Amino acid sequence: MIRFEHPLSERVRSFLRIEHLFVRFHRESMRCDSPWAHHLALFTLFEIMECAARAELKLDILQEIERQKQLLAGSRAASTEPVQLQQLQAVAENLQGIQQKFGQHLRENEWLMAIKQRMLVPGGTSPFDLSSYYFWQQLPHEQRLADLNKWIATLTPTYEAIAVLLTILRSNTRAVDCVAVNGNYQHNSLAQNIHMLTIELEKNKHALPEVSANKYFTHIRFLAASQESARGKPITEDMPFKLIMCSFDPVVA
C-alpha cells in the first residue's frame, strides 16, 4: 500500500514540508560517512532555513499547541494520557526558549552563506570554486557530523513541536473505503474540522491521486504514474482506495 497526504490548509502544508526536510536531513547525515551524504544534508539544511523562515510559523505552532493542551485538559484523556500533555508542554517551552529569528545563527555565518549561494549555481561547489568547503568535506566524518548537529540544533525545537502536532493530526482519523468510478471520486462536503486527507491505495495500481478539496466540494481524480510527463493520463477504470480524514480535533465529524 502507498499513502498520499493532502493538506487542506497552508498551516498543515508548511508543517508537512518542514517535517519532510528534517527527516531527509537526519537520514542523509546519519546514513553513511560519505562527504556527498553530508553535502546533501547541508543543502537540506538551507532548504529548512527557507521553508521555515515565515515569521508567523512559530506563532502558528504555539497557538495550535495551546489549543491542544486545552482540548486535552478538558477531556477524559487528561487523566489517562498525562504523557501527551507533558510532551506538549515540553515542546512549547523548548520552542519559546529560542529567542532569535529562525536560522539567524546560520545567516550570521559568512562561510555557510557563501556555500548556500554557490549551491544555487550548477557545479558551483566544485573544489576550485570553494576550496574551504572542499577542505571541510575532507575532514573526518565525526567532525563533519558534529558541525551538522551544531548547525541544526537551534532549528530542532521547531521540528519537534511540529512532529508532536502531526502525530496528533494523524491519530485523529476517520477512514472510509471508497471507489473512484472511472477514476473519479466526488464528495459534496467535508466537515469543517478536517485538516488533511490521506489517500491509501495499492502500489500495483500505478496510480496517483489529484485532489481538489475545500469545505464545499471534494474531487479526487486518479492519474497513471508516469516518468515521461508532469501529469500522467487520467485513469478510466474503477479505482478502489481508502480515504482517511485527519483532524487536530479529538473526534472527526
Can you tell me which residue has the cell 500533555? 85
Residue type, 186: Q
Q: How far apart are CA 201 and CA 205, in angstroms?
A: 8
Q: Would the pTM of this model clear 0.75, i.e. be above it?
A: yes
The whole-number pLDDT of residue 15 equals 95
**Tens of pLDDT along the chain (253 residues)?**
999 999 998 999 999 999 999 999 988 777 778 899 999 999 999 999 988 888 789 999 999 999 998 888 776 554 556 678 888 999 999 998 887 788 888 999 999 999 999 998 998 899 999 999 999 999 999 999 999 999 999 899 999 999 999 999 999 999 999 999 999 998 877 767 889 999 999 998 889 999 988 767 889 999 998 888 777 888 999 999 999 999 998 754 4
State pLDDT tens for residues 167-223.
999 999 999 999 999 999 988 777 678 899 999 999 988 899 999 887 678 899 999
Label residue 233 exposed, middle or buried (CB < 10 Å: 0-12, 13-18, 19+).
exposed
The whole-number pLDDT of residue 79 equals 52
Q: How far apart are CA 94 and CA 97, in angstroms?
A: 5
The whole-number pLDDT of residue 3 equals 94
The whole-number pLDDT of residue 81 equals 62
The whole-number pLDDT of residue 214 equals 74
Q: How far apart are CA 150 and CA 145, in angstroms?
A: 9
The whole-number pLDDT of residue 75 equals 66
SS3 track for the chain: CEEEEEECCHHHHHHHHHHHHHHHHHHHHHHCCCHHHHHHHHHHHHHHHHHCCCCCHHHHHHHHHHHHHHHHHCCCHHHHCHHHHHHHHHHHHHHHCCCCCCCHHHHCCHHHHHHHHHHCCCCCCCCCCCHHHHHHHCCCHHHHHHHHHHHHHCCHHHHHHHHHHHHHHHHCEEEEEEEEECCEEEECCCCCCCCEEEEEECHHHCEEEEEEECCCCEEEEEEECCCCCCCCCECCCCEEEEEEEECCCCCCC
State the maximum Cα–Cα separation within the chain, in Å, rounded to a whole number. 63
The separation between CA 29 and the C-alpha centre of its own chain, rounded to angstroms, equals 18
Distance in Å from the first CA to the final CA of the chain: 26
Q: How far apart are CA 187 and CA 201, in angstroms?
A: 18
Q: How far apart are CA 246 and CA 172, in angstroms?
A: 6
The whole-number pLDDT of residue 33 equals 80
